[in-house]
Amino acid sequence: MYGDKRYLLGRRDGGSDGLLFLGRYLALDGSSGSPVFLDVLKPHAILICGKRGYGKSYTMGTIIEEFARLPAGIRNNFSVIVVDTMGIFTCMGSPNLAEKKYLESEGLSPEGLNIKIFAPGIHTGRYDDVDALTFKIPSSSLSPYDYCELLGVDPLSPHGAVLAGAICSRNKFSIEDLIAEINSSDATDDVRSSLNGLLTMISAWDIFSADADYSQIMEPGSVNIIDLSGYGHEPGIKSCIVASLSRALYDIRVEARRKENTGYRRTPLVWMFIDEAHMFMDTGAGNVLINEWLRQGRQPGLSLVLATQRPSALGRDVLSQADMIICHRLTLRDDIEALEKARPSYVKEPVNEALSRLGAIRGAAVIVDDTTESYHVVKVRPRVSLHGGGEPIVRNVD
């Protein structure tokens, strides 16, 4: 199927286990060459970027698919968690029949994948053919600063001080508990009234629970899609969900790592995928992702895959901490310059020249791999499952 020659990214020592089929080398004449694989035996931090319509979300979906297709003995070491901001990965349970011939040329066939879809309680009825599971975050998993950011409250104001006091007074609480705590405080009527209104508002979102945990998305071998598209006009809600989730998973894996030093792994390693990642970098979620996942995540076994059409909006920390960059077509000068500043010394070709080799081919990408200190031009393989990120087509309507 793949031939004798292959290229392996993210690993120096070769081997045939724990490989994800990413695509094939792209020749100058547009023809495909040797297959290219991605290592998953070690943690990675991967950035996928490109302008709209050139394959960044498609590529992310391809990597997710490969996890679902791994042999059970390898797959059960991982839990894959996808933060789906636009709802485009929820259809991966359906086969990609539109690209059947293209798939057959790679020895593949259309296939719906075994995935679990989670959505906040008020949005679980949005799916016609899939039973979405209810997703909630533990109320106590957010810090006082997270709550202040979510509510638009200055942490140093009287409102912020009263809110922080209510949060810090309990280890475990519901939103209703916070309201009761604030009502019993010596805060002024104005502060109590405004905080009550704000907390009542977020209680209606149906995403907080005192008893929630993340055990359902930490099942070995599972692929979990967390659909946040229902909050398209509420970036603050998305940010607090990502902050809670990423902080909790970090703590879970740090604790699990201590136990793994003396015995069997019971808690899977985590690969978290975040689409439209630029939305989170200037928020509390971004602080967790950068400081805990990118800088410290390797030792506890946390891998992070970020996709964005605006790499310049991610900041230098993200670009410098990624050990692999998959870059589809970019044309905005700020984005190209941001990648140029992060270009490693072993890449002699300027970023704009490397990107010019891609032309307008959808799915073509320049891949920079720190592990092997190399870069490659690759055409990402077709998806076996349905891709929900395509553009709508106008048809004649009678």
Does residue 394 belong to any structural domain of this protein?
A: no
Q: How many angstroms separate the CA atoms of 153 and 168, rounded?
A: 16
391 phi/psi in degrees, rounded to 5: -80, 145
Same domain, 45 and 194: no
Q: Are residues 232 and 199 in the same domain?
A: no
The parent domain of residue 153 ranges over 140-208
Mean pLDDT, the chain, rounded, equals 90
* Average pLDDT estimate for 153-181: 93
Instruction: Note whether 170 and 284 are same-domain residues.
Output: no
For tokens 């990402």, name the residue. Answer: 380
pLDDT of residue 206: 85
Same domain, 371 and 292: yes
Banded pLDDT at 357 (limits 50, 70, 90): confident
Q: What is the pLDDT of residue 26?
A: 86
**83 and 226 co-located in one domain:** yes
3-state helix, strand, coil in the chain (%, to 5): 35, 20, 40
Residues 121 and 154 reside in one and the same domain: no
Judge if 329 and 223 occupy the same domain.
yes
pLDDT over 70 percentage in the chain: 93
Q: What is the DSSP string of 30-52?
A: S-EEEEEEEE-SS--EEEEE--T
Report how far residue 103's alpha carbon sits from residue 32's, in angstroms, rounded to the nearest whole number.
Answer: 14
pLDDT in tens, 96-112: 999 999 999 999 999 99
- Picking from 208, 226, 250, the residue at the C-terminal end of a domain is 208
CATH of the domain at 294: 3.40.50.300
In a domain? residue 261: yes
Whether the per-residue pLDDT at 395 is higher than 70: the answer is no
Residues 6+ away with beta carbon under 8 Å from 200: 179
What pLDDT is stored for residue 398 in this prediction?
59
Q: How many domains does the chain have?
A: 2
Query: Contact at 8 Å (CB) between 344 and 370?
Result: yes
The amino acid that residue 207 corresponds to is I
Q: Which of 208, 229, 262 is the last residue of a domain?
A: 208
Q: Are residues 184 and 118 both part of a single domain?
A: no
Q: CA 331, CA 233: separation in Å to the nearest integer?
A: 27
One domain, residues 239 and 154: no
Clarify whether residues 83 and 145 are in a common domain.
no
- Note the pLDDT of residue 11: 92
- pLDDT category at 396 given cuts 50, 70, 90 is low
- pLDDT classification of 123: cutoffs 50, 70, 90: low
What pLDDT, in 10s, does the model give residues 253-303? Answer: 999 998 887 666 789 999 999 999 999 998 888 989 999 999 999 999 999
Residue range 184-212: mean pLDDT, rounded: 92
Q: Which residues are registered as beta bridge partners of 120?
A: 135
pLDDT tens for 281-291 read 988 889 899 99
pLDDT for 13-63, tens place per residue?
878 889 999 999 987 766 778 999 999 999 999 999 999 888 999 999 999
Tell me what pLDDT residue 128 has.
57
Give the confidence band of 88 by pLDDT, cuts at 50, 70, 90: very high
* Total residue count of the chain as it appears in this document: 398
Exposed e or buried b for every residue in 159-170, given b needs 16+ CB within 10 A? bbbbbbebbeee
